[in-house]
Structure 1
Amino acid sequence: MTKLCEGRLEKLYKFQEKSNYKFNNINLLNRALTHSSYANEHKKHRILYNERLEFLGDSVLGVVVSDYIFDKYPGYPEGELTKLRATVVCEPTLAFVAKKLSLGDYLLLGKGEESTGGRTRVSILADAFEAVIGAIYLDGQLKSARDFVLNNLTNIIDDAVKGKIFIDYKTELQEVVQKVTKNKIAYEVVDEKGPDHNKIFYVNVKVGNKTLGEGMGKSKKEAEQSAAKSALGTLGGINE
């Protein structure tokens, strides 16, 4: 068992309080909250990081959510269940829940990830949330993992059924674009139609001089989200 410093233990205990689960093996939680960038910067210490736990947690998450919606919505056909599950376990949703837990504050990140906003990055937060699920599963078996998942996702599932789920396509697009270029994303209103009380906005999203997507909406924000979703479809970055 790895010996953790007092400061790190204190942070892990604080996260335990937020998660409403007390670990028998606190090292599992530490591993779940350790990013590969941190391990790579401290190779001589052979630090375990969270990718394998993420893999496990992803499977546990899928089983728990599938079981829950299968039981709660007996009238849903297979196709609707699949869509509902995909909405709930997608990256933006998991990152949203991770942010509510302030999970980013407890991550161990490499200096590079730290300096480029890794603590708030959607992909890192979603992966770490899944890793925590995997850690709880190993530490307390399926019931404990199920309790953690449903404590954090039941309201999300209910909102998804009611059509209230909001996916932040702009943030997801930012994630995708950052991986391939340092150019900034720009949203441009190219047209407005209709009277002031019922106006429709048309927006293009660009990276450099290239237009990646087009969108429309009853507000500029809605049109920007629509354009970002269009761009993600072009780039293959939408989680559906």
Structure 2
Amino acid sequence: MSKPGENGRKPPETARLQATLGHAFKDQGLLNTALTHMSAEGPRLQSYQRLEFLGDRVLGLCIADMLFERYPTAAEGDMSRRLADLVRKETCAEVAQGWNLGAFMRLGEGEILGGARKNKAILADACEAIIGAVFIDGGYEAARGLVERAFGERLLKPVRPLRDAKTALQEWAQGQGYPTPTYSERGRSGPDHAPVFRVAARITGLADAEAQGPSKRLAEQAAAEAFLRREGLWTETMESDHG
């Protein structure tokens, strides 16, 4: 049960949100913090950033746990692809929209006028903050229950088709919280009429992956594919589907 307000009852807006989440906060302050953007004005207001950091990791663990149970024969690469798709910011924003989270956000006046209640980046961050808050308030089982209710149906959907290796790598990197991949030319060989370019795909914090091709564009695609293969995210089936 949540702590009562001054009138002995939960604030109605908080009660509605908690009913939607399926979790009654023991510590109302955690929920308030999870709903507070850094732009909000007020004495000693703490924003959701720390809870977002925690919630991002809790979400990944819960989804990985659910995938491990739901797909007992799936290969690691297949589960990694599903995980990346489910924890990406776009998916978190969709979940937040389903919770009508924007209506409950505590925002600065400028952000409100700028449409921040519908801003997908803010909604995605707040979604993760809510998950982090539930984890602190009720423990892992409470957080997993929330994630299962919010993400469970998406767990059963086919993985979105990957358009090409560079797009796949970018989406995976974003879903894992890494910077956007970059590409750099590492060398060039062959005659002018038939050059061979060697390109490295780079994501800060991970080892580079190199590949070559007859043009920079194709070499970049090959490097991205090499990166995905190394991480177990690119299979022969995917190659035949998109090659």
Report the TM-score range of the alignment, normalised by the length of the smaller protein: 0.5 to 0.7
The alignment status of 1:68 with 2:70, answered yes or no, reads no
1:115 aligns with 2:117: no
Residue of 94, 99, 102 corresponding to 1:101: 99
AA aligned opposite 1:54: E
Q: Rate the CA distance shift 1:112–1:160 in 2: closer, same or farther, 3 A.
A: farther
Cα distance in 1 for partners of 2:112, 2:6 equals 20
Give the CA deviation at 1:109.
0.5
Q: Residue deviations 1:26-56, cap 9 Å, x none? A: 1110110111110xx33xx111110000001
User: Contact conserved, 2:51 with 2:133, CA < 8 A, in 1?
Assistant: yes
1:81 is matched with which residue: 75, 79, 82? Answer: 79
Cα offset, 1:74, TM superposition: 2.1
Cα offsets for 1:85-120 (capped at 9, x unmatched):
010111111111110110100000111111111001
* Structure with greater proportional helix content: 1
Partners of 2:161 and 2:97 in 1: CA distance: 19
Q: 1:49 to 1:150 in 2, by over 3 A?
A: same
* Partner residue, 1:182: none
> CA contact under 8 A between 1:87 and 1:160: conserved in structure 2?
no
What residue is the counterpart of 1:142 in the other structure? 140
Q: Aligned partners of 2:55, 2:158: CA distance in 1, in Å?
A: 21
* Residue aligning to 1:227: none
SS in 2 for 1:49: coil
1:207-230 deviation per Cα after TM superposition (whole angstroms, max 9, x unaligned) = xxxxxxxxxxxxxxxxxxxxxxxx
Unaligned runs of 5+ in 1: 170-239
Q: Post-superposition shift, 1:13?
A: 1.4
Q: For 2:12 and 2:49, how far apart are their aligned partners in 1?
A: 23
Q: Deviation at 1:14? A: 1.3
Structure-1 separation of matches of 2:6 and 2:92: 29
Q: CA deviation at 1:9?
A: 2.7
Matches within 5 A, 1:1-240: 9-38=11-40, 41-42=41-42, 45-161=43-159, 163=160
Alignment: residue pair count? 161
* Large movers: runs of 4+ above 3 Å: 2-8
1:88 and 1:160 in contact (8 A); partners too: no
Partner of 1:23: helix, strand, or coil? Answer: coil
Taking structure 1 as reference, are residues 135 and 75 closer, same or farther at Cα in structure 2, changes over 3 Å only? same
- Superposition deviation, residue 160 in structure 1: 3.8
d(CA) in 1 for partners of 2:102, 2:60: 23
* Alignment-mate amino acid for residue 123 of structure 1: A
Structure-2 separation of matches of 1:26 and 1:149: 20
| TM-score between both structures, scaled by the size of structure 1 | 0.62
Asked whether the 8 Å contact 2:56–2:132 carries over to 1, the reply is yes
User: Is the 8 Å Cα contact of residues 98 and 104 (structure 1) preserved in structure 2?
Assistant: yes
Percent identity over the alignment is 36
- The CA distance in 1 between the partners of 2:113 and 2:68, in whole Å, is 42
- Aligned equivalents of 1:120 and 1:17: distance in 2? 21
Partner AA of 1:142 in structure 2 = Y
**Could you say what the CA RMSD is over the residues aligned between the two structures, in angstroms?**
2.7
- After superposition, the Cα gap between the structure-2 partners of 1:109 and 1:159, relative to the gap in structure 1 and judged at 3 Å, is same
Matching residue's letter, 2:49 = E
Partner Cα separation in structure 1 for residue 5 and residue 39 of structure 2:
19
Identify if the C-alpha distance between structure 1 residues 17 and 126 changes in structure 2 by more than 3 Å, giving closer, same or farther.
same
Q: Supply the distance in 1 between the matched residues of 2:157 and 2:106 (Cα, whole angstroms).
A: 32
